[in-house]
Structure 1
Amino acid sequence: MTAAAKDRAQRPTPALNVADPALYAHGDPLPVWRELRATAPVHWNDTGVPGEAFWAVMTYEPAVQVYKGTNTFTSERGMRLGSGRHGVDAAAGRMMIVTDPPRHTKLRNLMNSAFTPRRTAQMEQTMRDVLTPLIDEAVETGVVDFVTDIAAVLPAAIVCHIMDVAREEHQAFTDMTSRAFGANLGAEGGPVSVAASTVANAKIFAYYARLLEQRRAAPGDDVVSTLATSEVDGVPLTDAEIVMNCNGILLGANETTRLASAGGLLALIENPAQWQRLRDGDVSPDSAVEEVLRYTSPAMHMKRVARTDTEIGGQTIKAGETVAIWNPSANRDEAVFDRPDRLDLGRTPNRHLAFGMGSHFCIGAALARIELRVMLQLLVDRLSGAELAGPVRTMHSNFMWGVEHMPVTLLPK
């Protein structure tokens, strides 16, 4: 047996594959994560596919170590497990999320102009204007799919605002993003859904190209204009770099808020006493938002690749090996969070990892928090409660964790 083979044989390798999407679409991951935190907090996860094994990080402190270890781990080999090497290589060093410092920091500084506290606060009224009629119409309709009819509409509208998409094009843009991300992440992987996702993604990239052409000709006060007129180290960004980073904003803004909103409402339906605490003012909306983020943890994993040999959670990680931080499990680590499987809207402290940590901390975190706060406030202000009106379907994905179909009846006050 070679030294490498002997080393692999000695690694802690539970029989369960935490990267199997079926666990999240059809099973209950909570007891699985709980067992792994107790017995194999950092373990070698063999997916059964050659070249796709990885170290799974299930607990909080090792997760923080990886997130903060930008000198030890690289993001330029992709952010998610199973990423196609060709696409990752094309984006590495060009798309912010798969770029390491110092270039990552420079790209982030450019894009921060779209997410300043002043600009995000200004969007709060826009959020209310979008959500209020949606909730009122849902009450009148009776049964609605909260995910597609309400939760998915708000983040798409805000992305349109950030990119200054013409109002008459909002619906078409929202439909494209829904098909691109919903079909790809929420389906069983059948050929129809994959084809729909591919076509929708191509249309989105073509739309970005048209936006970029317009902004180069007449720059405005939006993120596309900022990218189109900026330089990094004295060199303008290429069209491909701008389009990739626009898509990064769209993916981050759409998925996290949609899934946290839907998962948050489901959690409140299942925990009516917590809904009452929020209604009575016993907990602040900001505290409620943080707990919803921890409890739902939409970004299931984040991938890194070791630059050098290192040690995480008592395990030796070899240079070139993949590490995946399992965010929802780390956010339920009993060593950090008291009764972690319990929804507690007043939880404090609440140092969750729903937005990651370190240099790659989610650039749109402040915006997502405001969106969730407005959503929760309007639900509490305008409803007496909500009831499930049919079976809930969770996503068939090991990357995003959450609900993709949730029929509900919203009850008026």
Structure 2
Amino acid sequence: MGNETTMHALFDHLRDNDPVVYLDHPDYEPFWVLTRHEDVKYVSQNNDLFINNPRTVIVPQEFEKMLLEQFGTRNGLETLIHMDNPKHRKLRSVTRDWFKPTPIGKLTPMIEAIAHEYVDKMEAMGGECDFVKDVALLYPLRIIMKIIGVVPEEEQMMLKLTQELFGGQDPDQGRGNEVGDGMGVLLDFFAYFKNVVEDRKNNPTDDLATVLANAIVDGSPMEELDQISYFIITATAGHDTTSATTSGGLKALLDFPEQLDKLRANPDLANAAAREMIRWVSPVRHMMRTCTEDVEFHGQIIRKGESLAIWYPAANRDERAIVDPHKFDIERDNRNQMAFGYGGHMCLGQHLAVLEIEIFFKVLLSRIDWIELAAEPKWVEAMFVGGLKSMPVRYAFT
């Protein structure tokens, strides 16, 4: 899905006319598509009826076969988003306390310093930059890499691998056109984090990598494949989704200038604005679930063993659940939005994501005089995590 306008036009049509539709494509195993808020919420909160395995995200059949051969599962590396209970609950508990609001709040000075660093960069660039490539991709990357313990010299490598993983369908970001290229990306991640695990076991520090490398589950050290998978989802989802929201959030402010003026005049609205940006962008496009028994949605029977995809951008623009959903409103009460998921698999890093976005826009709008688009934005062609890949802007500092 490479364009915001066409994506939402499609979802608007499906919610109103085909809220539960069967998709049979020659390159993919068939699955059902759900687009209404009530259905996405119901699936998300019933984790025994709708399980994550064996299909968690939409990937081509041929790639699923390769993953099965290499890792013994059609998902490949089994991260938290792929797991079902009781394993999911046990492994989630390893970092649950680390990602609670109070510990995350203690990161505020570090995040503020990094936000100023990238706003300094914008100022030094002389009034014009590609906001996505020069700022939005790098700001949350620096934060999550610092949290994990990856040195700055390796950030670009981690960014490249993340783009290859999440943007594999995009000609500018994918590693190549062959099915095996996706496998190569996973194996490169595995090799890198395998070394990180070994280092933190031998040289523990106070970073998140040390927590994961030395984690105990059911009285024994966490299995290596689980550790590597944990690192991968933390390192990739920990910055790519926030990058997409930072750039998409700025675009929303430019598209709704009265909201930009309101936020500039009321910095205390930055937290609510960050949450509205997350709803607006909904960077995680979908998740797959498999039914453990027959279930009915709007007259359609989805059989036991069949898969369905729940679409978060569609749920977050559903007027049945959200008032005037196509309006960007930084004062909106966003307790009903679904961008972080819902239920047992709600995003662990949600408090960190909100804080990063809140702080960045507080810093940017306190220092910048004006900002506008300098060219038409471009979108990543991706089905799992999506957003802008280019947004040239012009601006002036006070």
TM-score under structure 2 normalisation? 0.90
Equivalent residue number for residue 73 of structure 1? 50
**Residues 267, 362 of structure 2: 8 Å contact kept:** no
- Quote the Cα distance in structure 1 between the aligned partners of 2:122 and 2:76: 43
Equivalent residue number for residue 349 of structure 2? 364
SS of the residue corresponding to residue 124 of structure 2 reads: helix
- Quote the Cα distance in structure 2 between the aligned partners of 1:192 and 1:402: 13
Determine if the alignment matches structure 1 residue 31 to structure 2 residue 9: yes
Structure 1, unpaired ranges of 5+: 1-20
Q: Percent identity?
A: 27
| Root-mean-square deviation (Å) | 2.4
- Quote the Cα distance in structure 1 between the aligned partners of 2:173 and 2:275: 37
Structure 2, unpaired ranges of 5+: none
**Residues 165, 185 of structure 2: 8 Å contact kept:** no
Structure 1 range deviating more: 87-96 or 295-304: 87-96
Determine if the alignment matches structure 1 residue 106 to structure 2 residue 90: yes
Matches within 5 A, 1:286-325: 286-325=271-310
- Quote the Cα distance in structure 1 between the aligned partners of 2:366 and 2:96: 32
- Quote the Cα distance in structure 1 between the aligned partners of 2:170 and 2:253: 30
- Quote the Cα distance in structure 2 between the aligned partners of 1:314 and 1:125: 52
SS of the residue corresponding to residue 298 of structure 1 reads: coil
- Quote the Cα distance in structure 2 between the aligned partners of 1:385 and 1:302: 38
1:224-255 residue CA offsets vs partner (Å, 9 max, x unmatched): 22222222222321222211110011121111
Distance 1:156 1:349, change over 3 A: closer
Distance 1:252 1:184, change over 3 A: closer
Shift of 1:197: 7.1
Shift of 1:101: 1.1
Matches within 5 A, 1:193-204: 193-195=174-176, 202-204=187-189
> Which of 170, 176, 183 is equivalent to 2:152?
170
Matches within 5 A, 1:10-409: 21=1, 24-25=2-3, 28-49=6-27, 52-82=29-59, 84-87=64-67, 89-90=72-73, 94-141=78-125, 142-165=127-150, 169-172=151-154, 174-186=155-167, 189-190=170-171, 193-195=174-176, 202-281=187-266, 284-409=269-394
Shift of 1:161: 2.1
Distance 1:329 1:125, change over 3 A: same
Distance 1:404 1:353, change over 3 A: same
- Quote the Cα distance in structure 2 between the aligned partners of 1:136 and 1:103: 44
Shift of 1:87: 3.0
TM-score under structure 1 normalisation? 0.87
- Quote the Cα distance in structure 2 between the aligned partners of 1:81 and 1:96: 16
- Quote the Cα distance in structure 2 between the aligned partners of 1:228 and 1:183: 25
Shift of 1:283: 6.6
SS of the residue corresponding to residue 289 of structure 1 reads: helix
Letter in 2 for 1:175: Q
Shift of 1:334: 0.6
Letter in 2 for 1:66: V
